[in-house]
Amino acid sequence: MTARRLAATLAVLATLALAGCGGGSTAPSGDADAVTGTVTVFAAASLTESFTTLGRQFEAAHPGATVTFNFAGSSALATQINQGAPADVFAAAAATNMATVTEAGNAEGAPAAFARNQLVIAVPKGNPQKITGLADLTGPEVKVALCAAQVPCGAAATKALDAATVRLTPVTLEQDVKGALSKVKLGEVDAALVYRTDARAAADAVDGVEFPESAGAVNDYPIVALTDAPNPAGARAFVAYVRSDQGRAVLTRAGFQAPSGS
């Protein structure tokens, strides 16, 4: 082959390579223009405020994408995913609920912890019952709401109450932390064990009472893209965004702590 023909052939190949890179939807997920369509995120109820903010920021960074959320108790979300509900991302409030999804083969790779949270006692503004710790919740006139045991906030509450050797009978067991918090906001109970972030988000209506036993009942929050994600590029990009500096800043403002080992 002559030098002139070789040069012409290389030029054609280069043109074809550039055309292949410039078209289609297979660009890397790190490219803002490559993430399009709907990204469906199943997330623990305690992430409602912070993930709603992150969703808006993600859409601004990826103008072709729309983020939709399903917020609920982590155990209910895990069940929905394993039953085939279409979702791209799962963010749980505890590793046990995430394990339900990974063991069923529905997680793409290993989940990553992105935040941690711990409990406070939510009481009506002004703390009319003067509650200062878990022992005060056993008073005969004190009505308490807890999360159900299979929900991460319920499991954490059980662990904290056991550590304090406190036994109490709640008037209601809620399926997610927002349900428990709403009972306080509506005046239906005198106190509820909720996450610090949820009490902070409702600071206009409730006060959060810290108690020492909560330090031994801290939940790490894992996140993962799902195996059958309808939008795999969007799923990976959203997970990366949550774990980025921008994501960490939003979570920190909401009261979440950095995950262990970070």
Mean pLDDT to the nearest integer, 66-71? 98
Is it the case that residue 195 has pLDDT exceeding 50? Answer: yes
In angstroms, what CA-CA distances link 35 with 11, 20, 91, 112, 245?
31, 18, 20, 21, 19
171 phi, psi to nearest 5 deg: -85, -15
Is it the case that residue 73 has pLDDT exceeding 80? Answer: yes
Mean pLDDT comparison of 4-8, 13-17, 105-109, highest-scoring range: 105-109
The closest alpha carbon to 92, from 51, 147, 62, 53, belongs to 51
Alpha-carbon gap, residue 47 to 221, rounded angstroms: 10
Task: Give a yes or no: residue 19 inside a domain.
Answer: no
Task: Give a yes or no: residue 13 inside a domain.
Answer: no
Which residue matches tokens 């912890």? 113
Q: Confidence class of residue 115 from pLDDT cuts 50, 70 and 90?
A: very high
Angle between helices 152-163 and 95-103 (to 10 degrees): 140
Q: Give the pLDDT confidence score for residue 158 in this predicted structure.
A: 96
Q: Confidence class of residue 262 from pLDDT cuts 50, 70 and 90?
A: low
Task: Give a yes or no: residue 6 inside a domain.
Answer: no
Task: Give a yes or no: residue 71 inside a domain.
Answer: yes
Answer yes or no: do 158 and 209 share one domain: yes
Task: Give a yes or no: residue 237 inside a domain.
Answer: yes
Is it the case that residue 28 has pLDDT exceeding 60? Answer: no
pLDDT, tens digit (0-9, with 9 covering 90-100), for 220-261: 999 999 999 999 999 999 999 999 999 999 999 999 999 876
Is it the case that residue 44 has pLDDT exceeding 90? Answer: yes
Answer yes or no: do 111 and 227 share one domain: yes
Alpha-carbon gap, residue 66 to 58, rounded angstroms: 8
Give me the chain's average pLDDT, please: 89
Give Cα 91 distance to the centre of its chain: 4
Answer yes or no: do 232 and 210 share one domain: no
Task: Give a yes or no: residue 11 inside a domain.
Answer: no
Q: Give the pLDDT confidence score for residue 1 in this predicted structure.
A: 42
Instruction: Look up the domain containing 45 and give its range.
Output: 28-116+220-254
Answer yes or no: do 212 and 85 share one domain: no
Domain of 77, CATH number, reads 3.40.190.10
Q: Give the pLDDT confidence score for residue 260 in this predicted structure.
A: 76
The closest alpha carbon to 212, from 150, 135, 139, 140, belongs to 135
Contact 242, 248 (CB under 8 A): no
Answer yes or no: do 203 and 230 share one domain: no
Answer yes or no: do 135 and 163 share one domain: yes
Is it the case that residue 29 has pLDDT exceeding 80? Answer: no
* β-pair type (119-124, 191-195): antiparallel
Is it the case that residue 23 has pLDDT exceeding 50? Answer: no
This prediction has a pTM of 0.84
Q: Give the pLDDT confidence score for residue 34 in this predicted structure.
A: 82
Answer yes or no: do 228 and 100 share one domain: yes
pLDDT, tens digit (0-9, with 9 covering 90-100), for 153-168: 999 999 999 999 999 9
Answer yes or no: do 126 and 105 share one domain: no
Alpha-carbon gap, residue 41 to 223, rounded angstroms: 10
Answer yes or no: do 46 and 95 share one domain: yes
Q: Confidence class of residue 52 from pLDDT cuts 50, 70 and 90?
A: very high
How does 68-103 read in b/e, with b if 16+ C-beta sit within 10 Å? ebebbbbbbbbbbbeeeeebbbbbbbbbebbebbbe
Mean pLDDT to the nearest integer, 27-54? 83
Q: Give the pLDDT confidence score for residue 24 in this predicted structure.
A: 28
Task: Give a yes or no: residue 7 inside a domain.
Answer: no
Answer yes or no: do 212 and 227 share one domain: no
Answer yes or no: do 38 and 100 share one domain: yes
pLDDT, tens digit (0-9, with 9 covering 90-100), for 198-219: 999 999 999 999 999 999 999 9
Q: What domain count does the chain have?
A: 2
Alpha-carbon gap, residue 185 to 179, rounded angstroms: 10
Answer yes or no: do 139 and 109 share one domain: no
Task: Give a yes or no: residue 202 inside a domain.
Answer: yes
